[in-house]
Amino acid sequence: MLNVALPKGRLGEKVYAMFEAAGFECPSIKENNRKLIFENEEKQVRYFWVKPSDVAIYVERGAADIGVAGKDILLEYNPDIYELLDLNLGKCRMAVAAPDDFYDDGNRRLKVATKFTNIAADYYASIGREIDIIKLNGSIEIAPILKLSDVIVDIVETGTTLKENNLSVKNTIVPISARLIANKSSFKFKGTQIEKIVQSIREQVKAND
């Protein structure tokens, strides 16, 4: 049985469609209920819906053989997994944003609010700027408005949230997209099944490009 951790939500539904097209369908997943685990014994596959930021934990610890996680989570937590494929879905970027009129004169430590403390710390270390990190868990955009921080490091997709809060992107740190990931020992022991899925999904990604 191949265990697949899918990120709950719209991205996960698109990803499931790719697995289905690869020949690993599981019709019960489309039933309208609140179940979280679905399996198709004939195809030897089991899917489960997890919080997107938890997928890498399931895969790293082997509770899932493969899964789909955002590059943001992989960069932030650096899980010990294999990254097999860029799915070209869930595209956005990790960026530094601040009030439209903000200018960093470099005179004092920069206050940075973010959910992604490692990404922010690595980025500012790479440009040699000293910072104080303020870890938040959501609604990051509020921080510079209330002067909790000077800037934020956060995900920008359409840019609407920033715009509606009079913030703008100052620097892009890294582009983000969804990645197919595998547990290292599963990749060894269930390699044939995983490789079959990877090949089909790789072709689908190319065809959608």
Among 139, 166, 185, 199, binds ligand PRP (CB under 6 A): 139
- Separation between Cα atoms, residue 62 and residue 78, nearest integer Å: 16
Residue 29 DSSP class: G
Number of shown-chain residues binding ligand PRP (CB under 6 A): 12
Q: Closer to ligand PRP by CB, 166 or 199: give it.
A: 166
Candidate segments 22-30, 68-76, 95-103, 137-145, binder of ligand PRP by CB under 6 A: 137-145
Amino acid at residue number 118: N
184: three-class secondary structure by DSSP: helix
Quote the least distance from Cβ 141 to ligand PRP, whole Å. 6
Q: Per CB under 6 A, does 53 bind ligand PRP?
A: no
Looking at the Cβ atoms of 63 and 142, the one nearer to ligand PRP is 142
Alpha carbons within 13 angstroms on the beta-carbon side of residue 94 total 23
Helices (H), 115-175: 117-126, 142-145, 160-164
Told to check if 208 binds ligand PRP by CB under 6 A, we report no
Interface residue with ligand PRP, options 85, 159, 168, 177 (CB under 6 A)? 159
Q: How far apart are CA 101 and CA 170, in angstroms?
A: 10
* Residue 135 lies near ligand PRP (rule: CB under 6 A): no
Q: Please provide the size of the chain in residues.
A: 209
Query: Can you tell me the distance from the alpha carbon of 82 to that of 35, in angstroms, rounded to the nearest whole number?
Result: 28
Q: Does 107 bind ligand PRP (CB under 6 A)?
A: no
Indicate whether 157 belongs to the interface with ligand PRP (CB under 6 A). Answer: yes
User: Which residues of this protein are in contact with ligand PRP, per CB under 6 A?
Assistant: 138-141, 154-161
